[in-house]
């Protein structure tokens, strides 16, 4: 939904929308016929990005044969020159509907629709056909004629559907002015605090205390100030803030509702001690015979004891001694429901488990991860902030092994660089040298990455402190019987193998998204990348937004980074949330079902997964604000009385006819989530056959045999449905949909497939497309041969 | 070892192309010179270039050095490097790929000679014989005469048996060798 499309009335009443969505068929036809329908087709060369693979002039010449169509080609349509051309044509009345052939609508649809609106055209009367990510970039190894014919078909299809597009306006829904921040690390803390100036916040944390990894750090690079000293004031501020409800040991269990208006179920695991009542006197811990009741660590926020039930003998000594009556041994896991308008995900990272790197022999005494090293010297220390080996003595020779599981393209580790290890290992090496001047600290690195302000200076300073640097990825760490560790490596600067004995080896593990990030992303309908981190709306330009307009992200859940950057993103996310909530309204796409005929059977009411339909006075009635536009009701209606506006059967069929008018091809219906995967495939130039024609639809569930049969009749050699949405309410029905379509289109004897593709699986997508295109092609050939041999027999029967 | 500067003439783009086109070649350009291969290699200290350096030289197209290096012959095919390489490069297989290229290019150093003698012995007898191997190799490599006392002392201790074992039917083996020969020619 674009920000340009303000609803016509600010306070749209549910009633009026309801009425609008039950108009009768003639009204739609009327509105479709209105006007002279001068369709302007604008094709973009995109420098050579499109024009090098497609003969745009040939496309234009062919299109011009239609008297209702005018065609124009520009070098860069998104430039002001390009946009002005379209704007002028609209303003002068030369065109009243626009089809653009350019890059993905995910990039510039909002820009173009904004321009259309300024020119006085309803934004919905402008659409983009993707001829770059889904044509020129993915067939650039093919012959130009095939790609040109595909593009011509796509544009013809788009123009055919555009002819009957309704000038709809988005619907408006009131936002709930409350935000859920998930994760109480520095990123979540910052987001919550920044927001609390003007909005209510619920901050949840799955651990029993706030602070995330930062509370387990010693000193912080590049300035070496104490982590706890700079973090504690922020945590206390969260705790004391009347607009922030802080809930520890809490996770998201379920998400219902829609953007701007979520109803979320939270799950709280029991602490057995009431945080509100506990005054931290410690009387309970002194009485407990098994040491089951404890304070996580001295500076933990919230300041309250908790019980480890695996140790508790249920003697009740603590309950009796507690002066505040704060302890309840019977506490159970509980759930609660909250209503929020926006969500900020700040679930951070965790280290990869280095056990899989066999040659490093982790875990072994004195082989630690960098996080274990930090914790020994932090607020969470169990050694009284002393660095010590398994035998309690100080390690005089310490090695740091970088990239343990990072920068690995074999599938065993992770591809990405974990970004902070180069710098924190130098910090840790400095700390070792500081604790004992004649100790040795060696850093084994592949590339010392210290870009950015103050970091190269930090590197230089660490060198001055006498830390030893070796360029080479450690080959082996062998524990010796005397407790020391032998490290084998190649000094790549000299090209010589080396062996060295250490007392302690620190592995710097790849930093990966926290467990559960994918589940949260799925529940909120946002995508994750193939590295598992949350996908930004735009890598560079919208770094803390997601593809869900009411969900934001900050900190390491967007990729490894340091505290400075996590805080920056926390502030940015808070600003973006505030901007979003500040509108008070959320616009929802008007492409909803319209009930044209109804015999009151109630099948659609039963089918709707979101309770958006009800029978009133013997007729089905829609609540547009509850409706997600999933389209399940469309094929559910036995008398074909329901259509999705602007994706009606007739409109989609007209588009298919146009697409297949030039040459037969494979029709691939694709939903917006999987569409994003196809775009990424394009950006990565993953090639697939130009026979493949993607048809963007709001959901695969709007399809029925009527449409698919039409595709076959117009010449499709195969039909594929690609779904990317992860909402189980829909995906649980996809198999049935596929089976039904297969059965009801059997007479064509042409292949039909269904596949679920998430945004990150773009490689799987292109593989599928290629395999299917060649299967469909082979089948079509076989069929036509059969027809030739026995041309009297009806091959269909 | 004298180190020649690398100048445009030392690089051979056709050689890069040739290696990259082989099944193991595709990933060669992604080597990041981390050195875990060389650090893991049990015999890299015996090589004139470590596996890491060899990959680097292939990236640069230093054909002459690569093909005449001792590295590709000294490799024991233990696979340590291939198992650990974070970029999925298979230095072991790279060595195996480079050997026939070196032979085809007529590179003749003692490693190539030894390899030839070794396969000859196998081809005619079907079994390895230390005695045959050493004596035949000594004929092609005069420097081996210096090893004579060592060989004699081994013989005295029974570590260098003079008996030559033969396989019953070496014709099948020959056929295998010929097939291998043919497939190499095809490439
Ligand atoms: C060894 C090491 C040393 C470092 N040293 C420095 C340094 O010196 N200087 C520096 O600037 N940076 C340093 N960093 C980086 C720094 O730790 C991170 O930048 C910072 O912790 C990121 O904060 P975050 O809030 O994004 O994530 P996190 O700190 O990981 O916080 C995420 C929080 O979310 C919670 N959570 C996760 N999943 C859920 C869920 N499903 N529901 C509810 N809550 C959830 C977690 O329990 C956690 O509390 C270091 C990192 C490492 C690994
Ligand atoms: S930051 Fe340094 S140590 Fe960490 S993965 Fe990147 S290069 Fe390796
Ligand atoms: S089935 Fe889907 S499209 Fe139909 S009313 Fe329900 S939510 Fe809306
Ligand atoms: S291990 Fe792989 S990436 Fe590292 S230097 Fe060797 S070949 Fe290159
Ligand atoms: S396979 Fe060859 S190069 Fe690789 S580690 Fe073993 S001996 Fe060294």
Q: Which parts of A288-348 fold into alpha helices (H)?
A: 317-321
A128, A230: one domain: no
Ligand nearest to the CA of B30: 4
CATH at A697: 3.40.50.960
A424, A505: one domain: yes
A606 inside domain: no
Ligand 1 site residues (CB inside 6 A) read: A 182-188, 204-207, 212-214, 217, 220-221, 251, 346-349, 370-371, 374, 420, 424, 427, 511, 514, 516, 520, 555-556, 561-564, 566
Q: Which residues in chain A are contacts of B45 at CB distance < 8 A?
A: 496-497
A524 inside domain: yes
A569, A680: one domain: no
pLDDT band at A669 (very low <50, low <70, confident <90, very high): very high
pLDDT recorded at residue A539: 87
A712's tokens: 């076959």
Nearest protein CA to atom 5 of ligand 5, as residue = B41
Q: Which residue among A451, A484, A511 closes a domain?
A: A511
CB A198 within 8 A of CB A241: no
Query: Ligand 2: distance of its center to the CA of A354 in Å?
Result: 15
A370, A501: one domain: yes
Q: Which residues in chain B are contacts of A446 at CB distance < 8 A?
A: 32-35
A498, A438: one domain: yes
Distance CA A235, CA A225 (A): 17
A507, A520: one domain: no
Beta strand A261-268 pairing with A250-258: antiparallel
Ligand nearest to the CA of A343: 1
A370, A491: one domain: yes
H and E: helices and strands count for chain B? 11, 0
pLDDT recorded at residue A25: 53
pLDDT band at B1 (very low <50, low <70, confident <90, very high): low
Q: A334: burial class by Cβ within 10 Å (0-12, 13-18, 19+)?
A: exposed
Distance CA B120, CA B111 (A): 14
pLDDT recorded at residue B161: 79
A142, A70: one domain: yes
Ligand nearest to the CA of A560: 1
- Please check the confidence at residue A20 and state whether its pLDDT lies above 80: no
pLDDT recorded at residue B127: 84
Higher pLDDT, B100 or A789: B100
Q: Which residues in chain B are contacts of A492 at CB distance < 8 A?
A: 33-35, 38, 52
CATH at A359: 3.50.50.60
Across the interface, of A471, A476, A495, the residue whose CB is closest to B50 is A495
Question: What is the edge-to-edge ordering of all strands in the sheet holding A69-74?
Answer: A69-74, A39-44, A97-102, A126-130
Task: Kindly state whether A478 is in contact with chain B, defined as any CB-CB distance less than 8 angstroms.
Answer: no
Query: Ligand 4: distance of its center to the CA of A33 in Å?
Result: 66
- Spell out which chain B residues touch chain A, with contact meaning CB-CB distance below 8 angstroms: 30, 32-36, 38-41, 44-45, 49-50, 52-53, 84-88
Q: What is the DSSP letter of A385?
A: S
Cβ within 8 Å, pair A359-B40: yes
Strand partners, A538: A542
A339, A378: one domain: no
A659 inside domain: no
Per-residue pLDDT of A744-757, as tens digits, reads 999 999 999 999 99
pLDDT-wise least confident of A61-75, A250-264, A673-687, B127-141: B127-141
Query: What are the percentages of helix, strand and coil residues in chain B, rounded to 5?
Result: 65, 0, 35
- What average pLDDT does chain B have? 89
pLDDT recorded at residue A790: 57
Per-residue pLDDT of A223-236, as tens digits, reads 999 999 999 999 99
Q: Chain A to chain B, count of Cβ pairs less than 8 Å apart?
A: 72
Cβ within 8 Å, pair B36-A492: no
- Please check the confidence at residue A643 and state whether its pLDDT lies above 90: yes
Cβ within 8 Å, pair A408-B86: yes
CB B30 within 8 A of CB B15: no
Region A272-297 average pLDDT: 95
pLDDT-wise least confident of A493-497, A560-564, A596-600, B126-130: B126-130
pLDDT band at A645 (very low <50, low <70, confident <90, very high): very high
Task: Kindly state whether A415 is in contact with chain B, defined as any CB-CB distance less than 8 angstroms.
Answer: no
How far does chain A reach from its first CA to its final CA, in angstroms? 46
A608 inside domain: no
A495's tokens: 């090209």
Q: How far is A490 from chain B (nearest CA, A)?
A: 4
pLDDT recorded at residue A789: 62
The CA angle A143-A148-A153, to the nearest 5 degrees, is: 135
Q: Which residue among A481, A511, A541 closes a domain?
A: A511
Per-residue pLDDT of A36-86, as tens digits, reads 579 999 999 999 999 999 999 999 999 999 988 999 999 999 999 999 999
A603 inside domain: no
pLDDT recorded at residue A16: 43
pLDDT band at A12 (very low <50, low <70, confident <90, very high): very low
Strand partners, A327: A273
Comparing alpha-carbon positions, the chain B residue that sits nearest to A402 is B34
Dihedral (Cα; B36, B40, B46, B48), 10-degree rounding: -20
- Please check the confidence at residue A91 and state whether its pLDDT lies above 90: yes
A193, A130: one domain: no
Comparing alpha-carbon positions, the chain A residue that sits nearest to B50 is A495
Query: What are the percentages of helix, strand and coil residues in chain A, rounded to 5?
Result: 35, 25, 45
A53 inside domain: yes
pLDDT-wise least confident of A60-74, A598-612, B111-125: B111-125
Region A399-407 average pLDDT: 98
Nearest protein CA to atom 13 of ligand 1, as residue = A562
A488, A503: one domain: yes
A611 inside domain: no
Supply the range of the domain harboring residue A709: 664-790
Nearest ligand 5 atom to the CA of B41 is: 5
Query: Ligand 1: distance of its center to the CA of A217 in Å?
Result: 10
pLDDT band at A27 (very low <50, low <70, confident <90, very high): low
pLDDT recorded at residue A14: 43
Query: Ligand 2: distance of its center to the CA of A516 in Å?
Result: 24
Contacts of residue B45, defined as CB under 8 A and 6 or more positions apart, other chains included, come to A496, A497
Across the interface, of A409, A474, A488, the residue whose CB is closest to B30 is A409
Higher pLDDT, A752 or A610: A752
A529 inside domain: yes
Tokens 């967007």, residue located:
A558
Region A338-354 average pLDDT: 98
For chain A, the domain total comes to 4
Across the interface, of B52, B85, B87, the residue whose CB is closest to A490 is B52
Region A695-715 average pLDDT: 96
Beta strand A293-294 pairing with A306-307: antiparallel
Cβ within 8 Å, pair A446-B34: yes
Per-residue pLDDT of B5-23, as tens digits, reads 999 999 999 999 999 999 9
Query: A131 in the Ramachandran plot: left (φ > 0), alpha (ψ -120 to 50) or beta?
Result: alpha
Q: A58: burial class by Cβ within 10 Å (0-12, 13-18, 19+)?
A: middle
Nearest protein CA to atom 7 of ligand 3, as residue = A627
Distance CA A613, CA A605 (A): 5
Ligand 5 site residues (CB inside 6 A) read: B 37, 40-44, 51, 75-81, 91-92
CA A37 to chain centre: 39
- Please check the confidence at residue A792 and state whether its pLDDT lies above 70: no
A686, A571: one domain: no
- Please check the confidence at residue A257 and state whether its pLDDT lies above 50: yes
Distance CA A7, CA A586 (A): 10
Contacts of residue B186, defined as CB under 8 A and 6 or more positions apart, other chains included, come to none
Interface mutation vs chain B, best among A445, A497, A499, most B CBs within 10 Å: A497
pLDDT recorded at residue A2: 42
Is residue A630 lining ligand 3, measured as CB closer than 6 Å? yes
Task: Kindly state whether A407 is in contact with chain B, defined as any CB-CB distance less than 8 angstroms.
Answer: yes
| Pick from B15, B86, B95, B84: nearest CA to B51 | B95
Number of Cα atoms under 13 Å in the Cβ half of residue A735: 2
Region A277-288 average pLDDT: 95
Ligand nearest to the CA of B41: 5
Per-residue pLDDT of A169-195, as tens digits, reads 998 889 999 999 999 999 999 999 999
Q: Which residue among A478, A511, A544 closes a domain?
A: A511
Return the SS3 of A696: strand
Q: DSSP states of A230-286 as a string?
A: HHHHHHHHHHH-TTEEEESSEEEEEEEEETTEEEEEEEE---SB-TTT-----HHHH
Domains for chain B: give ranges and CATH numbers. Answer: 8-104 (1.10.1060.10), 112-186 (no CATH)
pLDDT recorded at residue A7: 40
- What average pLDDT does chain A have? 92
Cβ within 8 Å, pair A497-B86: no
Per-residue pLDDT of A723-780, as tens digits, reads 999 888 899 999 999 999 999 999 999 999 999 998 889 999 999 999 999 998 888 7
| Pick from B150, B22, B35, B138: nearest CA to B86 | B35
Per-residue pLDDT of B135-160, as tens digits, reads 888 888 778 888 888 888 888 888 88
CB B155 within 8 A of CB B115: no
- Please check the confidence at residue A265 and state whether its pLDDT lies above 60: yes
Per-residue pLDDT of B151-187, as tens digits, reads 888 888 888 877 778 888 878 888 888 888 787 766 5
- Please check the confidence at residue A466 and state whether its pLDDT lies above 60: yes
């Amino acid at each position: 939904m674009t920000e340009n499309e303000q609803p016509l009335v600010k306070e749209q009443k549910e009633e009026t929308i309801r009425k609008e969505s039950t108009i009768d068929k003639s009204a739609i036809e009327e509105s479709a016929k209105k006007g002279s329908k001068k369709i302007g087709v604008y094709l973009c060369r995109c420098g050579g990005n499109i024009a090098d693979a497609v003969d745009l002039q040939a496309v234009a010449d062919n299109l011009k044969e239609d008297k209702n169509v005018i065609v124009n080609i520009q070098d860069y349509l998104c430039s002001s020159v390009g946009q002005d051309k379209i704007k002028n044509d609209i303003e002068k009345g030369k065109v009243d509907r626009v089809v653009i052939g350019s890059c993905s609508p995910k990039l510039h649809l909002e820009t173009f629709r904004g321009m259309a609106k300024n020119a006085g055209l309803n934004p919905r009367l402008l659409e983009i056909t993707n001829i770059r990510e889904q044509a020129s970039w993915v067939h650039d190894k093919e012959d130009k004629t095939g790609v040109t014919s595909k593009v011509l078909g796509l544009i013809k299809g788009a123009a055919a559907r555009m002819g009957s597009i309704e000038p709809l306006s988005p619907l408006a829904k009131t936002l709930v002015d409350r935000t859920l921040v998930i994760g109480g690390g520095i990123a979540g803390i910052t987001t919550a605090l920044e927001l609390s100036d003007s909005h209510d916040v619920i901050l949840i944390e799955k651990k029993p205390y706030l602070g995330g990894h930062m509370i387990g750090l010693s000193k912080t690079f590049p300035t070496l100030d104490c982590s706890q000293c700079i973090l504690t004031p922020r945590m206390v501020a969260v705790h004391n803030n009347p607009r922030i409800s802080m809930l520890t040991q809490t996770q998201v269990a379920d998400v219902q509702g829609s953007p701007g208006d979520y109803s979320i179920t939270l799950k709280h695991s029991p602490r057995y001690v009431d945080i509100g009542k506990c005054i931290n006197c410690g009387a309970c811990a002194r009485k407990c015979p098994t040491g089951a009741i404890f304070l996580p660590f001295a500076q933990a926020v919230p300041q309250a004891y908790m019980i480890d039930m695996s140790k508790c003998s249920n003697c009740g000594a603590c309950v009796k001694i507690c002066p505040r009556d704060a302890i309840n041994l019977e506490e159970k896991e509980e759930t609660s429901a909250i209503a929020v308008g926006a969500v900020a995900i700040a679930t951070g990272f965790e280290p990869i488990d280095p056990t899989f790197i066999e040659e490093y022999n982790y875990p072994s005494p004195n082989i630690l991860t960098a996080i274990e090293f930090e914790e020994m010297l932090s607020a969470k220390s169990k050694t009284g902030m002393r660095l010590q080996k398994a035998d309690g003595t100080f390690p005089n020779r310490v090695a740091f092994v970088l990239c343990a599981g990072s920068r690995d393209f074999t599938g065993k580790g992770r591809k990405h660089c974990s970004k902070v290890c180069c710098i924190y290992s130098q910090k840790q090496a400095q700390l070792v040298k500081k604790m004992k001047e004649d100790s040795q600290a060696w850093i084994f690195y592949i590339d010392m990455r210290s870009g950015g302000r103050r970091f190269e200076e930090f590197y230089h300073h660490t060198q001055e402190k006498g830390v030893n640097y070796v360029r080479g990825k450690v080959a082996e760490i062998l524990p010796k019987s005397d407790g020391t560790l032998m490290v084998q490596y190649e000094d790549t600067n000299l090209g010589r193998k080396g062996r060295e004995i250490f007392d302690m080896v620190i592995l710097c593990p790849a930093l990966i998204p926290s467990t559960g990030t994918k589940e949260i992303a799925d529940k909120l309908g946002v995508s994750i990348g193939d590295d598992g981190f949350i996908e930004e709306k735009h890598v560079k330009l919208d770094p803390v937004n997601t593809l869900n307009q009411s969900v934001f992200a900050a900190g390491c859940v967007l990729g490894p980074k340091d505290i400075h950057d996590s805080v920056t993103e926390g502030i940015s996310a808070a600003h973006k949330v505030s901007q979003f909530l500040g509108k008070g309204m959320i616009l929802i796409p008007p492409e909803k079902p319209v009930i044209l005929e109804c015999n009151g059977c109630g099948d659609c009411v039963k089918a709707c997964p979101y309770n958006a339909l009800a029978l009133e006075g013997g007729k089905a009635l829609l609540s547009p604000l509850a409706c997600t536009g999933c389209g399940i009701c469309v094929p559910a209606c036995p008398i074909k009385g329901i259509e999705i506006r602007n994706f009606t059967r007739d409109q989609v069929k007209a588009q298919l006819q146009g697409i297949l008018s030039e040459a037969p091809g494979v029709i691939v219906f694709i939903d917006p989530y999987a569409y994003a995967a196809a775009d990424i495939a394009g950006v990565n130039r993953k090639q697939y056959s130009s026979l493949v024609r993607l048809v963007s639809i709001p959901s695969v569930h709007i399809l029925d045999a009527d449409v698919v049969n039409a595709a076959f009749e117009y010449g499709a050699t195969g039909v594929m449905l690609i779904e990317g949405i992860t909402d189980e309410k829909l995906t649980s029905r996809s198999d049935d949909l596929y089976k039904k379509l297969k059965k009801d289109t059997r007479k064509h004897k042409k292949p039909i497939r269904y596949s679920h593709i998430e945004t990150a699986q773009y490689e799987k997508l292109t593989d599928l497309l290629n395999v299917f295109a060649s299967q469909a092609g082979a089948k079509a050939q076989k069929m036509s041969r059969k027809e030739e041999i026995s041309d009297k027999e009806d091959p269909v029967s | 070892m004298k180190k020649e500067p690398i100048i445009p003439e030392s690089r051979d783009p056709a050689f890069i192309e040739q290696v990259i086109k082989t099944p193991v070649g595709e990933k060669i350009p992604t080597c990041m010179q981390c050195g875990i291969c060389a650090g893991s290699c049990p015999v890299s200290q015996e090589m004139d270039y470590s596996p890491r350096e060899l990959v680097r030289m292939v990236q640069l197209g230093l054909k002459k050095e690569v093909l005449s290096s001792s590295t590709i012959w000294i490799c024991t095919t233990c696979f340590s490097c291939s198992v650990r390489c974070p970029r999925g490069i298979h230095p072991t297989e790279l060595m195996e790929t480079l050997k026939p290229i070196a032979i085809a290019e007529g590179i003749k150093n003692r490693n190539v000679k030894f390899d030839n003698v070794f396969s000859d012995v196998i081809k005619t007898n079907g079994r390895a014989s230390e005695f045959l191997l050493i004596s035949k190799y000594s004929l092609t490599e005069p420097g081996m005469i210096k090893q004579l006392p060592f060989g004699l002392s081994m013989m005295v201790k029974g570590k260098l048996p003079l008996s030559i074992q033969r396989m019953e039917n070496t014709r099948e083996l020959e056929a295998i060798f010929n097939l291998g020969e043919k497939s190499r020619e095809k490439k």
